[in-house]
Amino acid sequence: MKASVFCDVVDPWSYLGATRFERAAAMFTILTGEVVEIAYRAARIDSPVDEDRVIAAARISGIELDLDDRVPADSTDAWRLLTWAAESGEVVQRDLLHQLWRAHLLEGADVADAMVLSSRAALAGLPLGTAEALLASTDYAADVDRQRATAREIGAHELPFIVVEADRTLSGLLSQDDYLQAIHQIHRDPR
């Protein structure tokens, strides 16, 4: 089973939803032996975040957000790095994405800063020098633009926006149990 998660590095709802979906996918694999392959794609929705609501939702998932210290940032360079990371496999891309979410939403780091981005890439197992060179270029910028355009075209108006098996969508933050039930339903009822 394949899933594409359209999300953003600077969006706390994306972080919570993707984390819950990943946990549900892992539980589905444990229960059925069927692997859910997850790819992450750039999406951008500029909407205000109700901090009290998102902090409460995060606590349910065992995540302590620090939204007071977050630095407003354009996530384009982060997504260029994440698009490159996907070439090393979905685990590397996921690890880098979580590094960037933690940096932005828990530690108050500037995820538009090349040093922050390249050091997080290194923590995810990617070559530091290659990450630095990529960030000094415009490589993958067109890919990120295409991902964001695709998100708009398929109606991703709420993040995360998850496309499962190319034609089923899950929009916005759901509970881990709801994600698990949706995965089971899609698996039982393929189109």
* Tokens (6 digits) for 95: 């690890």
Beta carbons of 61 and 98 less than 8 angstroms apart? no
Q: Map out the domains of the chain as residue ranges.
A: 2-188
Place of tokens 């999406």: 43
Helix ranges (H only) for the chain are 12-32, 51-60, 76-85, 90-105, 114-123, 128-135, 141-153, 176-188
Q: Is 190 helix (H, G, I), strand (E, B) or coil?
A: coil
Residue 52 pLDDT exceeds 80: yes
Please give the full DSSP string across 135-164, using - where no structure is assigned.
HTS-TTHHHHHHHHHHHHHTT--SSSEEEE
Neighbours of 95 (CB within 10 A): 19
Q: For residue 122, give the DSSP letter.
A: H
Mean pLDDT of the 124-144 span: 98
Residue 191 has pLDDT above 80, yes or no: no
| Tens-place pLDDT, residues 90-104 | 999 999 999 999 999
Q: Which pLDDT score, from 0 to 100, does residue 165 have?
A: 94
**What average pLDDT does the segment 125-133 reach?**
98
Q: In the CATH scheme, what architecture does the domain 2-188 have?
A: 3-Layer(aba) Sandwich (3.40)
Cα–Cα distances in angstroms (integers) from residue 182 to residues 15, 20, 26, 120, 170, in the given order? 19, 12, 13, 32, 8
> Residue range 31-60: average pLDDT?
93
Helix (H, G, I), strand (E, B) or coil at 7: strand
pLDDT value, residue 47: 75
Residue 46 pLDDT > 90, yes or no? no
How confident is the model over 126-147, as a mean pLDDT? 98
Give the phi and the psi of residue 158 in degrees, each rounded to 5: -140, 135
Query: What's residue 48's pLDDT?
Result: 78
User: What is the rounded CA–CA span in Å between residue 166 and residue 20?
Assistant: 20
